[in-house]
Amino acid sequence: MDNKKISLVNEYDWDVNSKGIKRINDKNFSTVKKALDAKGPGFCLAKWNQVTMHLGTGMTHSCHHPPTHKIPLEELKENPTALHNTKFKKEQRKAMLNGKRPAECEYCWRVEDEAVENNFSDRARKSLEDWALPHIDVIKDMDGSEDVLPTYLEVSFSNVCNLKCTYCGPESSSMWYEDIKQKGPIKLLEGTDNETWSHGWQENLQIFKKREQNPYVDAFWEWWPDLHKSLKVFRITGGEPLLSKDTFKVLEWIIEHPNPELELSINSNLSVPDKVWDRFIDLINRIKDTDNIKNITIYASVEGWGKRAEYARTNLDFNKFTQRYEQLVSMSNMRAIIMATYNIFSVTSFQKLLEWQLGLRQKYNKSGLPPIWETAASVGFKSKHNLHIEKNANWKFGKGDVLIGMDIPYLRDPKFLDARSISHDLVLDYMLPTLDFMADNQVESKYSSKSKGFSEHEIDKLARIVYHRIYFNQNNKTDPTEPDWVNRKDLDVSRAGFYEFVNTSDKRNNTDFLSTFPEMKEFYYECKESVVRLQTGIHGDTSG
């Protein structure tokens, strides 16, 4: 189809709300897929509009699914936009414009090739976003060689971090980097054919240190005056962003250079020194009530409760974390989301975390709209000038300018921390009751207790993880209570890895897994048996 002159937006019927905004729903996913396919089966706007830059290691990717690739310094010298527009990425864009599906996007091709009804790939989901779709008609007529400005930027300025979380690694935590430099990488399952280094340790990993001149960060600041104007979504990740002077430079820049379209998000472990924290709060207070920005969200990372959360995040002071989170949610005109990457250490205390969240929602959330709607309709979290939210708020709910929410990503890697390998008993005693707790406290109706409980969207996120664990292998004739692994050996590799990791971790960190998680004692010994099975090679295949 020669679509040079046609508009891929105007060509189709979209489901829009009363403000003309395209709804995020299956009908529009299906429509955007048709529009993209009209250009080619691999055409995806995220390759142009969205980028994640890891400036501490000089890597980039678009979107976040394909593996990262190195930004060549020789490209950067002539062109700071090579942070996003590498020659490699331009080749992928050209392929998309010429009807090909780049191999690096196999995450999406797998979903599309399964062809399950209404199971849309991120190619459709991301391309429908308002930071992407408005650009479709310009992008479809490009040839792929152009330098483009992204509208959605996620950046990590460095790996500097004061925590050493169990599932993190040297690329994202300087504490991990130093730990491995001093004590060596952690080898698991030594002497078996599954011997491996934990935490993706690479001998030749190149990381710029805190005070080292970093050409990638220099290029970022050279490009920033232009880049900043094009952005709709800007998310700062780490390391710990609040330990990077560049994060503060961004906040100060925003005070001087308004962009009322900008949605700013910052990840944090909320564990930085008091002086740094106070400076951060001061800057946020100077931004959030102005039109310098559309809205601001802090994503606070924690995955469990109390000493169990501290075990999973070495150096975390849990009490300080909860105090600071409550400080954030008691401020107005901003959003504070708990980002709980559910892993094996989350299982037995996740409900306590949810109970705390529920109490805070009942105290602080006043919004008339549940979080998913807020996002979908592009309303909310805005300053006093956001008439839409004020209108709703005045109508029934009072000023609804604080929103507490929860994101529950599922940790798959490292595999030995994937909650899918936990025992049947732990599913019954903790996982299912936790899901029940969420469901029992689901927001009830559109006009009553919205935002005071958990949204369907949030419950779905935990349900998906529970489902993965309890979806038993139908062919498993030997032990139907075990997870759906291809065979017993895979399960043994994960559990044995977990056993060896906590033992090594206890020695390095002076911790004690069994006294911190006494309820996981039986599971711990099951994992020990997996080590023996791996060493002897006798697993007992459960694939039927």
Binding residues (CB under 6 A) for ligand SF4: these are: 44, 46-47, 62-63, 65-66, 105, 107-108, 122-123, 126
* Cβ proximity to ligand SF4, 120 vs 177, nearer residue: 120
Cβ(243)–Cβ(173) below 8 Å:
no
E strands in 94-192: 152-156, 164-165, 187-188
Strand, coil or helix: 481: coil
351 contacts: CB under 8 Å, gap ≥ 6:
430, 433, 434, 437
To ligand SF4, the closest distance from the beta carbon of 104 in angstroms equals 7
Nearest Cα to Cα of residue 196 among 493, 419, 505, 535: 493
Greatest Cα pair distance, the chain, in angstroms, is 69
Q: Are strands 152-156 and 50-54 parallel, antiparallel or unpaired?
A: parallel
* Cβ proximity to ligand SF4, 42 vs 304, nearer residue: 42
* Cβ proximity to ligand SF4, 47 vs 288, nearer residue: 47
Strand, coil or helix: 154: strand
**Is cis: bond before 380, omega within 30 of 0?**
no
To ligand SF4, the closest distance from the beta carbon of 9 in angstroms equals 18
To ligand SF4, the closest distance from the beta carbon of 61 in angstroms equals 8
To ligand SF4, the closest distance from the beta carbon of 537 in angstroms equals 38
Report the C-alpha gap between 418 and 532 in whole angstroms: 21
Q: Which helix (H) or strand (E) holds 219?
A: helix 215-230
Strand, coil or helix: 386: coil
To ligand SF4, the closest distance from the beta carbon of 26 in angstroms equals 17
To ligand SF4, the closest distance from the beta carbon of 135 in angstroms equals 14
* Cβ proximity to ligand SF4, 65 vs 508, nearer residue: 65
Measured CA to CA in angstroms, residue 493 lies from 24, 129, 416, 521 at distances of: 40, 40, 8, 19
Nearest Cα to Cα of residue 231 among 131, 376, 93, 90: 131
To ligand SF4, the closest distance from the beta carbon of 134 in angstroms equals 17
* Cβ proximity to ligand SF4, 106 vs 252, nearer residue: 106
Q: Which helix (H) or strand (E) holds 87?
A: helix 87-97
* Cβ proximity to ligand SF4, 127 vs 158, nearer residue: 127
* Cβ proximity to ligand SF4, 128 vs 408, nearer residue: 128
To ligand SF4, the closest distance from the beta carbon of 109 in angstroms equals 8
* Cβ proximity to ligand SF4, 105 vs 163, nearer residue: 105
* DSSP string across 350-373: HHHHHHHHHHHHHHH---SS-HHH
To ligand SF4, the closest distance from the beta carbon of 47 in angstroms equals 5
Measured CA to CA in angstroms, residue 524 lies from 181, 480, 515 at distances of: 29, 20, 12
* Cβ proximity to ligand SF4, 85 vs 365, nearer residue: 85
